[in-house]
Every structure is written in structure tokens, then in C-alpha cells.
Structure 1
Amino acid sequence: MRFTNAEVIILDLIRHGEPVGGRMLRGTTDHPLSELGWQQMQTAINDLLIDGNPPWDAIVSSPLSRCREFSLWLGEQHDLPVTIEPALAEMNLGAWEGKTHAEVRAFEKDTDRQAALWTDPSRTSPPGGENVEAFDKRVGAAWQGLLEAPSGSHLLVVCHLFVTNAVLRQVLEQPLSRILAFDLPYAATCRIRHERHALGETSLVEWIGR
């Protein structure tokens, strides 16, 4: 705790494991986890258990099956309440949905909008997909909702690569051009500690990609 007499909330974010179909620009395409994806998630979660027990009071999950199914299973295993939060769904990638990176490059032909998105998302959005600014506002609202948890709460948030990036952008107060600064692998985790104190409220990143 960095601030005297602070009220603390701990939020552990985990990206889903590998879905069926392997690596692609999946967006809101609702593929379940592959067998490897389940193993990746179980391994990552086991690293966070304390003497075999979960440190969390509750689980909050994206509605997409690659997050939701594991969250419901984990909640049942450890008798934890699970909330499905629609605003934590991955960014809609429009015409790129369900395509590999190579297929998107071929689809774009003479342009490389995919590279432009990673370079500066504030200037580029997937064709027919979700506007980056609107996506950031959606995830930001979900993030503020998570911070309304009671003091002492420890939540596990099961979500996506772009969603995790958007949350970290909120915490680090980076410009929208840096909303995709973290290229986290499947089942990567990070921990954020939010403290309410006499000077206001502060979110601190404890670790990323553990």
C-alpha cells in the first residue's frame, strides 16, 4: 500500500488462452478455447493460487466463449461468483474478423491498414469495424465499473488482448495512439492495485505478463 490508510482493490487481468483455429484477428468472432488454450489458462491460474486456493472474491468475464466458458468453469471449481460483463468483449474488427494476419494483408492489397492500426490506432480503424475511440470509451466505462467494487475486493478479470491494452491505457493515462502498446501472449496476466486515499484515487500496475 503506497498511501496511508488507503482503501485497496486488487484486479488481476488475464487474457484468454489459444482459441480453436489458432492465431488470427478474431475480434468478436466467437471461437471457444482449444485444448491447448485450456491448458494455458489452467497453468496461468495455478501460478496465482495461494496454497491451492484462489485469492479472488469474484470473477468478471467477457461474454465471448473463449473467456466465458473458462470463467464459469473456474467459478464452479472454487465456488466463486461469476459476472459476465458485455463491455469487456473484444474490439469488433469488421472485415478482418476471423482472418489471419496474412489474409488481412492480402485483403488490403496495396494498403497495410493492419500495420497502420498497430502504429497509431487513433488514426486507423478496421474497415467496417469498431471505432478505436468508441472502443476505448466502452472499455473505460467497464473499468470504472470494476473500480466501484468494495474496499478489500480482489477480482479476476478474464478478457482479451485489445481490452487489456485499453485498461492499461486508462491506468497509465497514455494517449489513444498508444492503446495497443502491449503485445501480450495467450493467458498472460497482469495485476493492478487501485487505492482510494486522502489525496484521491490512484491505480498502480504491480506487474505485467507474469
Structure 2
Amino acid sequence: MLIDLLRHGEPEGGRRYRGCGVDDPLTDQGWAQMRAVLNGAKPPWTQIVTSPMRRCRDFAEAFAREHGLPCTVQESLREVGFGAWEGRSPEELKAESLADYLAFYRDPARARPDGAEPLEAFVGRVADALESIRQHHEGKHILVVAHSGVIRAAVVHAMQVPAVALYRLRMPYAALTRLRVDERGLSVEFLNRRTL
């Protein structure tokens, strides 16, 4: 079984922490980025599964309609909750408290923004979502349209590394990551491809 994870393209509102509390749609550029990575190839997928957030769902549903693919929304694929950082830019946060900003990246499990979703709970939520996809689509090739945090959590889970490694992975807009599920379990086949 193959699970391709596609990060959404550029959303409206500029660079900021969106998490699951800010639901910006894609910009025209964001739509173009996502179309470019799939570059008109005949889709190899049998099913699309998407986050409920507009920056993922709008594209996933449109792409599914265009190619006659079934598309389901999976609530557990929403982005991590950033609490007090939702909607704020890195520049704002650094200006307000550089120490808190840097502490988060040094220890994202214990130095979370106020009200943020706990890191271990988030990775567990994504692991459960992957298991649900595996159970419902055994042996198929699935496209998951999701967020950088969700894709990072999926990779961390597949590699069985500590959740704190999550923010060591860069996830550019509209890049593809592939997971393989076979008799050996879950493995990472590739990260951040810009073409299918």
C-alpha cells in the first residue's frame, strides 16, 4: 500500500502559524503550486483523503471531481493546534519574546504556546489517522492532502523517532512525501518531491 501525502500550497494571509484555528483558503499561487506538482499526469490514486481545513479540502475536492476519484474528509488530519500562536507571524513572535520562540524549537514538547495541542497527542492523532486509512484502503494507492505538521508527524511516526524531531523536518508548500505500508510495517519512500 502507498500513501502519498501532499502538503497544501500557499494560503492567503502570508507567513504565519495557522494550525487548526485559522482556516485561510489557498491563493491563486497556492492552487498553481499544487497543480504543478501533480503536473497533469494520470492520477495513480484510487482514493483521496483530506484534512477538513480549506487550504487542503478545496483543492482535494476539486481534483477529485476533475478525475472522478472518491474523496473523503478526515477530521483527524487537521493541522496541529498552535494555541496563542494561531494567526501570528514568526516575526511578531520573535519581536514579542525571542526567548519563547527559540525555546519552542529547542524543546517543542515542553515549550509549547499557551493552549497549544500537546505534541505527543498530535503525533498520536496522526498515527491513528494513518492506521484508519490503512484499515479502510488496504492495498490501495491513496493521496492524502494535508499540512506540514501532519506530514512531519506521519514521517516521525513511520521512522519511530521521538516526536520532538518533528520540527527538524522542512516541508515546502505543495511537496509530495510517500509512505509505504507492507509486511515490514510503515516506511518512508521519499520526502518533499516537487513532481509526481
TM interval, shorter chain, is over 0.9
Output the amino acid matched with 1:192.
L
Cα separation, partners in 2 of 1:167 and 1:34, compared to 1, 3 Å: same
What does residue 115 of structure 2 align with? 128
1:160 corresponds, among 124, 147, 159, to 147
Q: Distance in 2 between matches of 1:78 and 1:115?
A: 44
Distance (Å, rounded) in 2 between the aligned partners of 1:112 and 1:156: 39
CA separation in 1, counterparts of 2:128 and 2:160?
Answer: 15
1:12 to 4, 12, 16: 4
Counterpart of 1:3 in structure 2 is none
How many equivalent pairs are there? 192
The structure 1 residue matched to 2:46, chosen from 57, 69, 76, is 57
Deviation at 1:206, TM superposition (A): 1.4
TM-score normalised according to structure 1 size: 0.87
List runs of 5+ in structure 2 lacking aligned partners: none
Using the alignment, how far apart are the partners of 2:50 and 2:77 within structure 1? 7
Amino acid at match of 1:91: V
Q: CA deviation at 1:120?
A: 2.3
The corresponding residue for 1:139 is 126
CA contact (8 A) 1:166 1:180 kept: no
Q: Distance in 1 between matches of 2:114 and 2:155?
A: 25
Instruction: Select which of 101, 105, 119 maps to 1:118.
Output: 105
Q: Is contact 1:120-1:178 (8 Å) kept? A: no
Larger of the two Rg values belongs to structure: 1
For 2:19 and 2:92, the matched residues in 1 are separated by 15
2:186 corresponding residue in structure 1: 203
| TM-superposed deviation, 1:181 | 2.3
Which structure is higher in helix share? 2
TM-score, length-scaled by structure 2: 0.93
SS in 2 for 1:158: strand
Task: Encode CA deviations 1:18-43: one digit per residue, 9 max, x unaligned.
Answer: 00012111112000000110000000
- Structure 1 runs of 4+ aligned residues shifted over 4 Å read none
* Local SS of the residue matching 1:22: coil
1:106 CA drift (Å)? 2.5
Secondary structure of 1:152's counterpart equals coil
How far off is 1:112 after superposition?
2.6
